[in-house]
Structure 1
Amino acid sequence: MSNVLVFLHSNYLQHNAGVEKVVLEQEHLFREKGFDFFAICPIPQVKLIFGQHLPLPTKEYLIIKNGKEEKRCSMSELAECVLKITWDAVIIHHLKNYSNRTILLSVLKTLSDRSPIFIYIHDFATICFNHVLMKKGIYCSKKKIGTSFSKCCDCKFYLFSLLDHRFYKRLFSYINFSGIIFPSDVIYKIWHTAYPNVPEKSCKIIPHQKFSQDQARWEYTDVHEVKIAYVGYASPEKGWTFWKLLTTKLEGIMQYRFFVLGNTNETIPNMLYEPVSFLKSGKDAMVNALKRNNIDIAVLWSRCPETYSYTFYESYISRTFIITSVESGNIAHMVKKLRCGKVFASEMDCLRWLKDVKQVQDALNEFHKNNLYRPIELIPNDEIMEIIKTMS
């Protein structure tokens, strides 16, 4: 039996987020090809200190085998367990919340000497403890990527970042990775400025999904009532604050209807809410919600660079017109590349555009005329599995 070992930062069977979706899709892909799929994640402990939820040292780790929780163990027990198994490959997705990092580094080094080992760069956690690179609600790395005293000394994450960055520098110098994997060229370019000494030949761009070759033709109809949706998890870095401003400023425009497709604990009046979860409804849950509600415009206003963005690709194949910020990373890049929306320099520019209803309707009608075809579905990318098979 072939075995694959995965490290990540949370239980992918319970958490409805991007990294967890990648791991869940990989579990299905590997198991379909006859692999046993093992995943390890910390069981985090958090304490409220001075109004901040801060992580405590992790004492226990969870081992998941083929989609079922198998057992809990300490780091030393975990080391003993994983080192006695022969692995076809080891994949690191995330190392947030791992304690006992001296033991962890030793384990990863031993595993790398025995098996191909890969690491995914899903976010900016290898650069800063605050994985979205935001300081006081603003993206803080426009001019300089990385941790420095002059830029970061007044940031609440600075001391944690110093410790984290020391660990990750050792990790990338200590272990000869078979591949450092980035889901987009956008994150690769940002990340490589912080790790310029990592050889480019070690880095691979592998998007999480592929478009199906089969396409569907959409019927063209003129847009009169415009359905505008916030898509995804409601958080400030994803644009929730701007969404609340947007719906307030546009309140009273009769041609607009507002939707929230995703998960939020906050309710705004005069809005349709639909919780969306790939854990409950499958990998196409958001695509189905967008199509079912006939959404015309998806608001993907990330305030820091997105490294991939499932919601972008889900919105794209649902033929929604996407509006986003110039700071949204891979979203802005793909909107421009695929000509599937508008990228705005500021919130005020976006609001001015939306207030002109006829301009919006004309833009949507033109968009629909020029986009009659879309891929039928998004397919999980199996490229990493193919790479591993060639190395076995």
Structure 2
Amino acid sequence: MRIHEINNQYVLAVSYGNYLKADGGVDKVIAEHCQLFNNAGVSYIQIAPLKPGGISGMIFNCIKRNIYTLVIDGSFQKLVDEEEIIRMLMRYERGEKQMIAFHIHHLKKNNIRFLNRISSIAKCNTYFFVHDYNSICEHPNLLENGSRFCGYTAKPCDDCIDCQYVHGIKSIQQKTRKILGSFKNLYIVAPSKIAMNLWLMTFGDLVQENHCFVVPHQKAFGVNTLVPDLNDKIKIAFLGKFGDNKGKNEWIKVANVVKSEKLEYELFYFGTSDIKIDGVTNVYVQVKPDNPKAMYEALVDNGINCAFLWSLCPETYSYTYHEAYSANCLVITDSDSGNIASLVNENNNGKVYSTIEQFISDLRDDTILDIMNKSTSKGPLKYEANTDILNLVGGKGCIEPTYVKQSNVDLQMLIINAIYKALQWHMLR
């Protein structure tokens, strides 16, 4: 089985899953990086451990081989094991294919030994991306007992004796140190100062100060002078994933108060959840690679005045904030929301509350309009993927690709790929 042709320079990226099959923040970033590097003539290879459940999981566990998905330049190739990946990289090395960067987007599901083997082949810098806090704690959002931000300060977590994650935090941090400490040319990349500073509180000794870069996922262009009309009622919308850590329970409390007290507000939910809340109008919105402005357009089309982004955890970036800002929505957020709260204060385009009761009080007192009038900031006309990530690596690749032949046919891997494709076909029926 042959694999995709690649350019003379390439980036190798490791994550926890196939980004073509998911729509999370990490997956979106990897897809954007792939496009940016491809546009610069550099191939982008992504591998991720496959940890399937059900029948496929039983089959792979019986075979007892560490299986990975292989995606090259945005196209899924096949399933491979560790040895096949190592052979592929060594063939590239012999064929004068240059790995110009080794990107680690997530340590989850990956093992130290395999990453070290890749590092021994790579003659380039290693970049670790801080997408969440999974390298610090078992809970990727640093939520105490999965409910609210624990106020993490990098002190020994013995004080958090009542938290269910306290027993695993030391082993997770030891694993992070063992993996990242083994790379000679390690760079840390975070999408915000909030994320970088929080991560460095724990692992600042692992990396040189001049090897830490804050690179937001997007760049802003222009100024949007269009402001949502203010009709009879102020329109407030909850945006994105409808989860507990995103403020679902607080939003339900707001909706109950608005309905029971007959307050003059229109409430909306913009996202993919089908949960119905009395008094809230659901608008289905799904941001996808072929429709990246879906949320922005929905906000503008529906004339939303305020965006409710009540994250209970320190967000490292928040695409929804930038979508709301671009649509010139006032942003209502919680003081623990990380980069959201930081950007609201920086851009003066909303208000940061300590408690949901404070926000409800403002709703009752009808002071939201005053807050809107004091918010003078105008959002950008558009956001685009940040090309600064290319500047970190440097160099342009050869546009003309060469074909890479697959050698040493592995019968067992052929069988595994056939099973995987059959299961994928069955799930799509």
Q: Shorter-chain TM-score: what band?
A: 0.7 to 0.9
Report the CA distance shift for 1:352/1:146 in structure 2 as closer, same or farther (over 3 A): same
**Residues of 2 paired with 1:151 and 1:391: CA distance?**
50
Q: Does 1:89 align with 2:101?
A: yes
Q: What corresponds to 2:171 in structure 1?
A: 163
Q: 123, 136, 154: which is aligned to 2:132?
A: 123
**Residues of 1 paired with 2:277 and 2:139: CA distance?**
28
Report the CA distance shift for 1:193/1:246 in structure 2 as closer, same or farther (over 3 A): same
**Residues of 1 paired with 2:289 and 2:384: CA distance?**
18
| Residue 296 (structure 1) shift | 0.7
Q: What corresponds to 2:117 in structure 1?
A: 107
SS state at 1:374 partner: coil
* Identity rate, percent: 26
Report the CA distance shift for 1:158/1:97 in structure 2 as closer, same or farther (over 3 A): farther
SS state at 1:267 partner: coil
Deviations 1:276-319 (A, max 9, x none): 22226422222112112111110111111111111111111110
Q: What corresponds to 2:13 in structure 1?
A: 6
**Greater relative contact order (Cα < 8 A, sep 6+):** 2
Deviations 1:348-385 (A, max 9, x none): 1111112223x223332443xx34x4321001101111
SS state at 1:251 partner: helix
**Residues of 2 paired with 1:46 and 1:241: CA distance?**
31
| Residue 270 (structure 1) shift | 3.0
Q: What corresponds to 1:60 in structure 2?
A: 67
Preserved contact between residue 263 and residue 364 of structure 2 (Cα < 8 Å):
no
Q: Does 1:33 align with 2:45?
A: no
- Structure 2 counterpart of 1:105, one-letter code: L
Q: Does 1:380 align with 2:380?
A: no
Q: What corresponds to 1:21 in structure 2?
A: 28
**Residues of 1 paired with 2:143 and 2:105: CA distance?**
21
Q: Does 1:270 align with 2:270?
A: no
Q: 140, 143, 158: which is aligned to 1:134?
A: 143
- Structure 2 counterpart of 1:379, one-letter code: E
Report the CA distance shift for 1:365/1:224 in structure 2 as closer, same or farther (over 3 A): farther
Q: 286, 293, 299: which is aligned to 2:295?
A: 286
**Residues of 2 paired with 1:166 and 1:46: CA distance?**
28
Preserved contact between residue 128 and residue 146 of structure 1 (Cα < 8 Å):
no
Structure 1 residue ranges, 4+ long, deviating more than 4 angstroms after superposition: 219-223
Deviations 1:40-86 (A, max 9, x none): 12223469xxxxxxxxx994210111211101122333333334333
- Structure 2 counterpart of 1:199, one-letter code: Q
**Residues of 2 paired with 1:159 and 1:95: CA distance?**
19
Provide the TM-score with structure 1 as the length reference: 0.88
SS state at 1:278 partner: coil
Q: What corresponds to 2:59 in structure 1?
A: none
Report the CA distance shift for 1:119/1:391 in structure 2 as closer, same or farther (over 3 A): farther
Unmatched 5+ stretches in structure 1: 48-56
- Structure 2 counterpart of 1:93, one-letter code: H
Answer with 275-284 or 313-322: which moved more.
Answer: 275-284
Q: 182, 195, 210: which is aligned to 1:187?
A: 195
| Residue 177 (structure 1) shift | 3.5
Root-mean-square deviation (Å): 2.4
- Structure 2 counterpart of 1:316, one-letter code: Y
Q: 153, 164, 168: which is aligned to 1:144?
A: 153
Q: How many residues align?
A: 374
| Residue 106 (structure 1) shift | 1.8
**Residues of 1 paired with 2:121 and 2:214: CA distance?**
23
Q: 244, 249, 256: which is aligned to 1:241?
A: 249
**Residues of 2 paired with 1:220 and 1:38: CA distance?**
42
Answer with 88-97 or 264-273: which moved more.
Answer: 264-273
Report the CA distance shift for 1:16/1:274 in structure 2 as closer, same or farther (over 3 A): farther
Report the CA distance shift for 1:262/1:7 in structure 2 as closer, same or farther (over 3 A): same
Deviations 1:87-126 (A, max 9, x none): 122211112122xx242232242144x1222111111111
Q: Kindly report which structure 2 residues correspond to 1:209-220, keeping only aligned pairs within 5 A, or say none.
A: 209-212=218-221, 214-218=222-226
SS state at 1:72 partner: strand
Q: What corresponds to 2:265 in structure 1?
A: 256
**Residues of 1 paired with 2:245 and 2:91: CA distance?**
42
Preserved contact between residue 147 and residue 161 of structure 1 (Cα < 8 Å):
no
SS state at 2:20 partner: coil
Q: Does 1:296 align with 2:305?
A: yes
Preserved contact between residue 145 and residue 164 of structure 2 (Cα < 8 Å):
no
Q: What corresponds to 2:417 in structure 1?
A: none
Unmatched 5+ stretches in structure 2: 1-6, 55-63, 93-97, 398-429
Preserved contact between residue 228 and residue 300 of structure 2 (Cα < 8 Å):
no
Preserved contact between residue 324 and residue 343 of structure 1 (Cα < 8 Å):
yes
